[in-house]
Amino acid sequence: MMNNPVSVSEFLSVVKGIVSDIPLFQNVILVGELSNFKAHSSGHFYFSLKDDKARISAVMFRSQAQSVLFKPKDGDKVIIQGRFDVYPQTGQMQVYVSKMNLDGLGDLYIQYEALKKELEEKGYFQSSHKKSLPPYPQRIGVICGAGSAAHADITRTLRSRWPLAEQVDLFSLVQGDGATQDLVTKIEFADEMGLDVIILARGGGSIEDLWAFNTIPVIMAVYNCKTPIVTGIGHESDTTLSDYVADYRAATPTGAAHEVTPDTQEIRITLKKVDRANIMSISRSIVALSHSFDTIKNKPYYQDYKTLFNYRWMDLDRVNYSLNQHYQQFQRHTQMLKRTVDTMGYNLQHTFQKQNMALDKTVNQFHMNIDFKLSTARRDTIQSNEDLIRGMSGFVTLKKKAFSDILKTLSYLSPLNVMIRGYSVSSHGENVIKSIDDIDINDEMNTRVQDGILISKIVRKELKQ
* Contact assessment for residue 241 and residue 219, using Cβ atoms and an 8 Å cutoff: yes
Residue 317 has pLDDT above 80, yes or no: no
* Contact assessment for residue 126 and residue 98, using Cβ atoms and an 8 Å cutoff: no
Distance CA 397, CA 400 (A): 5
What mean pLDDT do residues 382-387 have? 81
Distance CA 351, CA 345 (A): 10
**Which pairing describes strands 92-102 and 55-60: parallel, antiparallel, or unpaired?**
parallel
pLDDT of residue 302: 57
Residue 2 has pLDDT above 60, yes or no: no
Nearest-5° Cα angle at 451, 446 to 455: 20
Distance CA 100, CA 236 (A): 32
pLDDT of residue 106: 43
What mean pLDDT do residues 351-374 have? 80
For residue 449, what are the β-bridge partners?
Answer: 452
Higher pLDDT pick, 367 / 181 = 181
At 36, the pLDDT band (50, 70, 90 cuts) reads: very high
Counting residues of the chain whose pLDDT is more than 70, the rounded percentage is: 90
Indicate the residue type of 452: G
Highest mean pLDDT out of 56-70, 71-85, 126-140, 311-325: 126-140
Residue 412 has pLDDT above 50, yes or no: yes
Q: How far is CA 153 from CA 1, 142, 232, 234, 405, in A?
A: 90, 11, 11, 13, 84
pLDDT tens per residue, range 268-299: 888 888 878 888 888 788 878 777 766 766 66
What mean pLDDT do residues 96-115 have? 75
Distance CA 209, CA 220 (A): 19
